[in-house]
Amino acid sequence: MKLILLIQALTVDPVQLNLKAKILSMLACFCAIFFVALTTQSLAALPNSPILVASMGATAVILFFIPDSPLAQPWPVFSGQVCSAFVGMSIALYISETASSAAAAVGGSVLLMLLLRCLHPPATATALAPVMSENISELGYSFLLIPVGINVGLMVLLAIIINRWVLNRDYPSAFATEANTTKQNHTAQTARHKIGISTKDIEQALQNSDSFVDITATKLSHLLSNTEMNTFKRVRGNIICADIMERDICTVEYGTEVEDAWQIMQTEKTKVIPVVDSVNRVIGIITQHDFFKYINLNAYDNLQEQLRSFIRRTAHIKTSKPEAVGHIMSRTVVTLAETAHIVELIPLMTLQGHRQIPIINDQHRLVGMVYQANLVAALYHQGLAQSISS
């Protein structure tokens, strides 16, 4: 039994990727190295100049297999390689004894990378290259430009292009962090007290930890959120949006007049109406706030008169105020698929402040609406049923 456990521990896949992702990442490594070598060869001034640093192979693996790692970000990759090349060449030019120069090259490159916060493990192999090869040490500090500078510059550029626009990954992680921060700032306006683990909580925990975690705080936060959702699904059961949504809802179109939309709201006693196109796809949403935001009031204005004047249809050909729903609607609409689990509604309603979520089918057509009351009722009745059965 212990032997089986030992074998299982030794054969754990170090990369948690499916077969398709592994094949795509492998092809990305192949294409990147081929392009970098070919481009450097065309730019090399000397015929005997090396066209590729051996450590670029390890760098390619890190960039395309674990792009979320802090070691794979552009600053550590580029600066780590260039700094290590500088240290290695300096050691090779002034220390002739191989063992001492090799140790000094690795130790010095690691120290400089730590000071500049650009640790990139494959770069230590770049530091060793001038020490272990006389042909490379004869190049002098031009080694920093050709091949190191060109190699690593092209490699970082290709990593951004391939990861973001071919493999559809959030690389560099700074882009994902900035987007997440913007989203959190927006959320803070609607939810003052966030329940759960935030990215800042994770960053603080990582700073207080003595161990290295090969993942960014943003990615770790995303994984923890998915874990919480999976736990909720396991405990609460498979309740989807289609089970709790309101199916009989009113809609308007882009060209619907403002006065007609307001009349529908008053008649149906609703505070929000989805705006759809000719095939019933959601293109916007209109709330009571969208009517009032175009009304300028001072302390002595009559709100009722101002509102009546705004929604009333203009009799003339020209007008300075919006006349159609499409002119005042909110174009940014959050929707969910009818097959989505209700756990996906919780962060949208509790953290982002949405009071209702339009529900669409597999053809992206509107099929219903989930309100906060629907979610609360579903959670209450499902929890009540569980307590009775237990």
Give tens-digit pLDDT for 339-365. Answer: 999 888 988 888 788 889 999 999 999
Percent of the chain with pLDDT over 90: 48
pLDDT at 52: 93
- Is residue 149 included in any domain, yes or no? yes
Query: What's the pLDDT band for 231 if we cut at 50, 70, 90?
Result: confident
What is the mean predicted confidence (pLDDT) over 157-169?
94
274-283: pLDDT as tens digits? 999 999 999 9
pLDDT at 26: 96
- Is residue 8 included in any domain, yes or no? no
Domain match, 195 and 119 both = no
Domain match, 222 and 251 both = no
Query: What's the pLDDT band for 174 if we cut at 50, 70, 90?
Result: low
Name which of 149-158, 161-170, 180-189, 327-336 the model is least confident about. Answer: 180-189
Bridge partners (DSSP) of residue 286 are 273
pLDDT at 290: 83
- Is residue 160 included in any domain, yes or no? yes
- Is residue 2 included in any domain, yes or no? no
Domain match, 309 and 209 both = no
pLDDT at 196: 58
Query: What's the pLDDT band for 383 if we cut at 50, 70, 90?
Result: low
Query: What's the pLDDT band for 88 if we cut at 50, 70, 90?
Result: very high
Domain match, 258 and 154 both = no
Name which of 50-59, 162-171, 192-201 the model is least confident about. Answer: 192-201
- Pick 316 or 363 by higher pLDDT: 363
Domain match, 144 and 277 both = no
What is the mean predicted confidence (pLDDT) over 119-126?
96
Domain match, 199 and 264 both = no
Domain match, 206 and 300 both = no
Q: How far apart are CA 92 and CA 101, in angstroms?
A: 6
Domain match, 218 and 141 both = no
pLDDT at 317: 55
pLDDT at 296: 61
pLDDT at 388: 67
Query: What's the pLDDT band for 163 if we cut at 50, 70, 90?
Result: very high
Whether 342 and 239 have beta carbons less than 8 Å apart is answered as yes
- Pick 221 or 146 by higher pLDDT: 146
- Is residue 1 included in any domain, yes or no? no
Query: What's the pLDDT band for 187 if we cut at 50, 70, 90?
Result: very low
Domain match, 248 and 381 both = yes
Domain match, 229 and 278 both = no
pLDDT at 87: 97
Q: Using a CB cutoff of 8 Å and minimum separation of 24, what contacts does 62-65 make? A: 62/120, 62/121, 62/122, 63/32, 63/155, 63/156, 63/159, 63/163, 64/25, 64/28, 64/29, 64/32, 64/159, 64/162, 64/163, 64/167, 65/15, 65/17, 65/22, 65/25, 65/29
- Is residue 156 included in any domain, yes or no? yes
Q: Which of 116, 133, 165 is the last residue of a domain?
A: 165
Query: What's the pLDDT band for 192 if we cut at 50, 70, 90?
Result: very low
Domain match, 145 and 69 both = yes
pTM of this prediction? 0.62
- Is residue 330 included in any domain, yes or no? yes
Q: Which of 114, 131, 165 is the last residue of a domain?
A: 165
Name which of 83-92, 97-106, 248-257 the model is least confident about. Answer: 248-257
Q: Which of 143, 165, 187 is the last residue of a domain?
A: 165
Please report, for the domain that includes residue 296, its CATH number: 3.10.580.10
- Range(s) of the domain holding residue 149: 15-165
Show Cβ contacts of residue 307 under 8 Å, excluding neighbours closer than 6 positions: 291, 292, 295
3-state secondary structure labels for all residues of the chain:
CHHHHHHHHHCCCCCCCCHHHHHHHHHHHHHHHHHHHHHHHHHCCCCCCCCCCCCHHHHHHHHHHCCCCHHHCHHHHHHHHHHHHHHHHHHHHHCCCHHHHHHHHHHHHHHHHHHCCCCCCCHHHHHHHHHHCHHHHCCHHHHHHHHHHHHHHHHHHHHHHHHHHCCCCCCCHHHHHHHHHHHHHHHHHHCCCCCCCCHHHHHHHHHCCCCCCCCCHHHHHHHHHHHHHHHHHHHHCCCEHHHHCECCCCCEECCCEHHHHHHHHHHHCCCEEEEECCCCEEEEEEEHHHHHCCCCCCCCCCHHHHHHHHHCCCCCCCCCCCCEHHHHCECCCCCEECCCEHHHHHHHHHCCCCCEEEEECCCCEEEEEEEHHHHHHHHHHHHHHHHHHC
- Is residue 74 included in any domain, yes or no? yes
Counted domains in the chain: 3
What is the mean predicted confidence (pLDDT) over 60-85?
95
What is the mean predicted confidence (pLDDT) over 214-230?
73
Percent of the chain with pLDDT over 70: 78
Nearest 10 degrees: Cα torsion 173, 34, 83, 88: 150
Q: How far apart are CA 28 and CA 153, in angstroms?
A: 16
Domain match, 367 and 253 both = yes
Query: What's the pLDDT band for 380 if we cut at 50, 70, 90?
Result: confident
